[in-house]
Amino acid sequence: MRIVLLLILTLCSSVLSASPLNSNQRHLYEAIASELRCPASVNLTVQESQAPIAFELKARIAERVLEGADKATIIAELESRYGPQIRYRPALEANTWLLWFGPVGLFCLLAAGLLIHARRPSKSE
Structure confidence at residue 111 (pLDDT): 92
Average pLDDT over residues 21-38: 88
Domain count, the chain: 2
Q: How many residues does the chain have?
A: 125
Q: Is 26 in the same domain as 51?
A: yes
Q: Is 84 in the same domain as 100?
A: no
Task: Tell me which DSSP letter residue 41 carries.
Answer: S
* Domain CATH number, residue 14: 1.10.8.640
Domain of residue 123 covers 92-125
Report which of residues 103 and 3 the model is more confident about: 103
Within 1-124, where are the H helices?
A: 2-18, 23-35, 52-67, 71-82, 97-119
Q: Is 80 in the same domain as 46?
A: yes
Q: Is 45 in the same domain as 98?
A: no
- What is the rounded distance in angstroms from the CA atom of residue 7 to the CA atom of residue 63? 17
Q: Is 45 helix (H, G, I), strand (E, B) or coil?
A: strand
- Give the pLDDT confidence of 72-102 residue by residue, as tens digits: 999 999 999 988 888 887 767 777 777 778 8
Q: Is 36 helix (H, G, I), strand (E, B) or coil?
A: strand
Q: pTM here?
A: 0.61
Q: Is 31 in the same domain as 76?
A: yes
